[in-house]
Amino acid sequence: MLSVNQIESGYGESTILRQVSIEVPPGQVVCLMGRNGVGKTTLTKTIMGAIKTKNGAIHYNGQNITKLAPYERAKLGIGYVPQGREIFGQLTVQENLLLGLEASRDRKAGVPASAIDKFPVLPSMYNRKGGDLSGGQQQQLAFARALASKPKLLLLDEPTEGIQPSIVQDIQDVIRSIKQQGDTAILLVEQSIDFVKSVADYYYILEKGTVVASGSIDTLDEQVIRQHLVV
């Protein structure tokens, strides 16, 4: 579904990612891990097109998307839940959800029930401003907004960061349900080892902008954790 080949990217003259290659197969959850500041968010933004690729190539569903704009990538079926959620605080919950349809080929059908049903608390908040929601509620809204266009690839950047445990469990359940359906690939940036082991099939670990470890989730053992993840 997603193939990142020898990517180099960064901000201005500064190169953050160096020769990064990862694969995200259809229907699987691949976790991107690493200490703070190693380039995880830079990679998700590069895949989404918010940061330009300096070298290397990105292929999605067999198509080279390296030069495409973010909105073009979204229309091809890539959904994105950014770190910090980035919902529109002055818009209502319903308006935020409708914005998720901008990348959909079937806007007139409205926000699909499959996106809303995963977060049943949202319909009761349709008329509330996004900025009035709690952090956990905003995270659910951002997730549902990304699902509104029925993406085939979902990029999740730290979806459990700063969220109360009950909503972390809800997000875990949603990721598992998407995985069970088998038609959407997920690239997940996550710090919690327990969370990763509960949902992921495969992992990559970044260090100083380079992939230093990877493997199936059952190879994420204490030695790997101590070497690359413990602060």
37 sits in the region (left: phi over 0; alpha: psi -120 to 50; else beta) called: left
Name which of 75, 39, 48 is nearest 206 in CA terms: 39
Residue whose entry in the numeric block shows the structure tokens 């349709």:
126
The structure's pTM equals 0.90
Q: What is the topology classification, in CATH, of domain 2-228?
A: Rossmann fold (3.40.50)
**Exposed / middle / buried, residue 12 (Cβ in 10 Å: 0-12, 13-18, 19+):** exposed
Task: Report pLDDT digits (tens) over 55-72.
Answer: 999 999 999 999 999 999
Cα separation of 155 and 76, whole Å? 14
Cα separation of 128 and 204, whole Å? 38
Question: For position 31, what pLDDT does the model report?
Answer: 97
Question: For position 108, what pLDDT does the model report?
Answer: 62
Question: For position 89, what pLDDT does the model report?
Answer: 85
Residue ranges of domains in the chain: 2-228
User: Residues 2, 154: contact at Cβ < 8 Å?
Assistant: no
N- to C-terminal Cα separation, the chain: 32
Question: For position 230, what pLDDT does the model report?
Answer: 82
Amino acid at 157: D
Question: For position 100, what pLDDT does the model report?
Answer: 83
Name which of 28, 29, 65, 58 is nearest 43 in CA terms: 58
